[in-house]
Structure 1
Amino acid sequence: MKATIKLPHPDILSQLPRPLLTWYQGQSAARELPWREEPTPYHTWLSEIMLQQTRASAVIPYYQRFLAALPDIASLAACDDETLMKLWQGLGYYSRARNLKKAAIVLTDTFHGEMPGDFNDLLDLPGIGRYTASAIGSIAFGLPLPAVDGNILRVVMRVLGCREDIAKPAVKRAVEDALAPHYPTGKDAGDLNQAFMDLGATICLPHGAPHCARCPLAPLCLAHDEGCEQELPVKQNKKQRRQENLTVLLLRTGKAIALQKRPAKGLLAGLWELPHLKGHLTAEEVQAHLDAHGLSVQEIHRLPDARHIFSHVEWQMRGFEVLLKNPDSGIVAEDNTPLVWASPQELAETYSIPAAFQYFLRTPAYNIRTSSGS
């Protein structure tokens, strides 16, 4: 489907590649990122999936750890789900990891374990949209494909002085279609996309004043010329997140901690979590609930409150550390999910604990780090 949005001053777009490539390829300040050192199709794919919703600096240790454990598509396809989730622990948006494995299996079965160098074949893989397919195609295969993400949208809207709403898919597609005829092939294709990424990350910033004095596109930028850089891009406000109140229980006996597995579908599907109850309960209410479910409390202490934000929901969490007398029986969760008892070593090496619950594993009362990268 072709975009129906018409961008203002589209002739300016033909002038962007040369100054951007000169700036990116000639600057000593280009970001040094491990996936750029050896931009194979697998490395590019893995890094682009990890970089979704996540800052590059935060991704680096996860990327290095993941690649050390799963160095190629075949090893990713063969990886068991618990190991995969443990490697991904702390990055969030865990469906990305599941789609990586699904796509690796497709690649193993259909493409002899290799990434295809065709845009439509890439687009057919689980978890790969137009941006990721374009990034892989341009960086790993030299295809003339604009990888239109927030950085490119922000730069282009400012350069063109365009006030279209970048939250609209039609606007994103219009930018992609307008840029495509001006994209080079070969190494320059990938470099141009990475130049846009670096420009957006270091100069044409999303919050606060952009560093226009250092920008290679400043002479072409209509927003800079009109002094309205910080008014662009236009983006409609997201719907307000739903708020949920939870009481999280750090149940322990000795050094063993109680975990339960989340349902196979939905938020944080299939991951391990600390038992929790709906609402903000008092210590007395927690003890009464545990007693009623066959768990005898020896000591109970309040933990610091915590908050965790997902894309559409915000958890406001009250925590309690509970030392139990009889840990071998009882069910805590309201849905009767059974408990599993994990040692500190198992927490560190085996069980994947989402970041939402790690606040309570890092308290002075019971300091556990569930992985070196989280």
Structure 2
Amino acid sequence: MVEWSQDQINAFQTTLLTWYDQHKRDLPWRQDHDPYHVWVSEIMLQQTQVQTVIPYYLRFMKQFPTVQSLAEADETDLMKAWEGLGYYSRARNLQRAAKQVVNDYHGHWPETASELQDLSGIGPYTAGAIASIAFNQPVAAVDGNAFRVFARLLEIDDDIAKPQTRKIFETVINRLISKERPGDFNQAIMDLGASYMTATNFDSSNSPVKAFNQSYLDGIESKYPVKTKKKRPVPHNYFGLVIRSSKGYLLEKRPTSGILPNFWMFPLYDQQALIKEKADSQAQLIQRLEKQLQADYQLSIQLHKVAGKTVSHTFTHQKWLITLLEGDLSATADLSYFPGKWIQTTQFPKMAFSKVQSKMWEAYQNQRLSKK
């Protein structure tokens, strides 16, 4: 790893911040230093592209303009506002943290990175971003951009996939960060990582900090950052049940814990749980599922495979592959034992659906249109 002298650090700060002042991205959450605005934007930006976040952020701020309004929001309204962004635990943690700020801190935000991490859903990166941007605290905000930028600048060989590597980068960046403009420094690194120093197709020959980029000067930039490959998400095969009646579609509410908690969805059944022999056909699995519905919920229904492609959705560690099955049920069927209810399609627009449910519904609608 390259070590910079104080003169080099000063020169790097000046070069970086001069470029940032002239070319920084015009983003709605950068119009002020309000910690609420910084916080919501940073949570939204986790796992999500900037251009996707902008319209969500603007609508969210219109609906929940203050931390107080977010703390008092109805959960259904909150989840509807978040619909489509995915990783819904982020939204729930937002409201938990908002309630902490309102109730535990009497509406006043904690100002240090350490205190901010006491709020629900705020980790080291988000705490560093809020503390530096909103409160001018000289603390690193180490995200994927920072890992990539500083690994290349200084030829840091530590594997960024390992949790302990974060401490190494935090120590390095805390030495290099501008003490006068820490928030702008961190945001400049974000912009640098999103422009000249992207993961692929980077353009370091035109970068404003190319003179400080040791891996570029040595012709080995593609080696950085060092990162071991993640394990591929494990595939899980499910049946998704589209059950109809004159009362609408039968949806069930998912458990309060696990993946997609509390969301209303078409019932999902793990195909693996229905297999008895390796040679079992899909038709046999469907027959067993029909018998299970009868045994578990006293629902007598014939299921048929919906034409079209399998619905696919990837989580961090799992990939769901959903085969849609459809069937009709009497509107007078006894749902006493079933953890769900009939919902009319006119209610769908008002409900907060997970991305998985939206994909299943879209696939089913496309199949129906293709029949006409």
* Residues 271-280 or 177-186, more deviating: 177-186
Deviations 1:97-116 (A, max 9, x none): 11111111111112222322
Residue pair 2:140, 2:173 contacting (<8 A) in 1 also: yes
Matches of 2:334 and 2:196 in 1, distance apart?
Answer: 56
Matches of 1:179 and 1:234 in 2, distance apart?
Answer: 17
User: What is the Cα deviation at residue 288 of structure 1?
Assistant: 5.7
Look up the equivalent residue of 1:259 and give its one-letter code. L
* Residues 139-148 or 281-290, more deviating: 281-290
Look up the equivalent residue of 1:307 and give its one-letter code. S
* Residues 52-61 or 7-16, more deviating: 7-16
Aligned to 1:370: none
Aligned to 1:340: 341
Q: 1:109 aligns with which of 103, 121, 130?
A: 103
Residue pair 1:163, 1:234 contacting (<8 A) in 2 also: yes
Look up the equivalent residue of 1:18 and give its one-letter code. T
Matches of 1:330 and 1:318 in 2, distance apart?
Answer: 26
SS at match of 2:194: helix
Look up the equivalent residue of 2:164 and give its one-letter code. A
User: What is the Cα deviation at residue 155 of structure 1?
Assistant: 0.6
1:155 aligns to 2:149 (yes or no): yes
Matches of 1:156 and 1:299 in 2, distance apart?
Answer: 55
Aligned to 1:77: 71
Q: 2:187 aligns with which of 194, 216, 222?
A: 194
SS at match of 1:352: coil
Residue pair 1:165, 1:236 contacting (<8 A) in 2 also: yes
User: What is the Cα deviation at residue 39 of structure 1?
Assistant: 3.4
Q: Which sections of structure 2, spanning at least 5 residues, go unmatched?
A: 273-281
Look up the equivalent residue of 1:20 and give its one-letter code. L
Structure 1 residues 270 and 22: CA distance shift in structure 2, 3 A: same
Structure 1 residues 291 and 168: CA distance shift in structure 2, 3 A: closer
Structure 1 residues 155 and 340: CA distance shift in structure 2, 3 A: same
Residue pair 2:253, 2:265 contacting (<8 A) in 1 also: yes
Deviations 1:75-109 (A, max 9, x none): 11111222222222221221111111111111111
Deviations 1:344-370 (A, max 9, x none): 332111x22111221121131368xxx
Aligned to 1:312: 317
Matches of 1:122 and 1:278 in 2, distance apart?
Answer: 40
1:203 aligns to 2:207 (yes or no): no
Q: 2:331 aligns with which of 316, 320, 327?
A: 327
Residue pair 2:117, 2:124 contacting (<8 A) in 1 also: yes
1:129 aligns to 2:123 (yes or no): yes
Q: 1:247 aligns with which of 239, 245, 248?
A: 239
SS at match of 1:247: strand
Matches of 2:302 and 2:330 in 1, distance apart?
Answer: 8
Aligned to 1:371: none
Structure 1 residues 148 and 329: CA distance shift in structure 2, 3 A: same
User: What are the equivalent positions in structure 2 for 1:25-44 lying under 5 Å apart?
Assistant: 25-27=21-23, 30-44=24-38
Look up the equivalent residue of 1:294 and give its one-letter code. L
User: What is the Cα deviation at residue 337 of structure 1?
Assistant: 4.6
1:235 aligns to 2:227 (yes or no): yes
Aligned to 2:354: 354
| Backbone CA RMSD of aligned residues | 2.5
Look up the equivalent residue of 2:345 and give its one-letter code. P
Residue pair 1:154, 1:233 contacting (<8 A) in 2 also: yes
Residue pair 1:246, 1:315 contacting (<8 A) in 2 also: yes
Matches of 2:307 and 2:247 in 1, distance apart?
Answer: 18
Structure 1 residues 271 and 156: CA distance shift in structure 2, 3 A: same
Look up the equivalent residue of 1:304 and give its one-letter code. K
User: What are the equivalent positions in structure 2 for 1:11-90 lying under 5 Å apart?
Assistant: 11=5, 13=9, 15-27=11-23, 30-90=24-84
Matches of 1:117 and 1:87 in 2, distance apart?
Answer: 28
Q: 2:132 aligns with which of 129, 138, 159?
A: 138
Matches of 2:329 and 2:254 in 1, distance apart?
Answer: 25
Aligned to 2:277: none
Alignment length (residue pairs): 352
Structure 1 residues 222 and 258: CA distance shift in structure 2, 3 A: same
Matches of 1:291 and 1:303 in 2, distance apart?
Answer: 27
Look up the equivalent residue of 1:352 and give its one-letter code. A
User: What are the equivalent positions in structure 2 for 1:228-307 lying under 5 Å apart?
Assistant: 228-254=220-246, 256-279=248-271, 281-282=282-283, 285=287, 293-297=298-302, 301-307=306-312
Matches of 1:77 and 1:264 in 2, distance apart?
Answer: 20
Structure 1 residues 150 and 284: CA distance shift in structure 2, 3 A: closer
Work out the percentage of aligned pairs sharing the same amino acid: 35
User: What is the Cα deviation at residue 253 of structure 1?
Assistant: 2.8
* Residues 271-280 or 64-73, more deviating: 271-280
Matches of 1:161 and 1:83 in 2, distance apart?
Answer: 47
Deviations 1:34-62 (A, max 9, x none): 11123311010001011111111111222
Deviations 1:192-218 (A, max 9, x none): 111111111122111x23111221111
User: What is the Cα deviation at residue 168 of structure 1?
Assistant: 2.2
Aligned to 2:367: 365
Matches of 2:245 and 2:219 in 1, distance apart?
Answer: 62
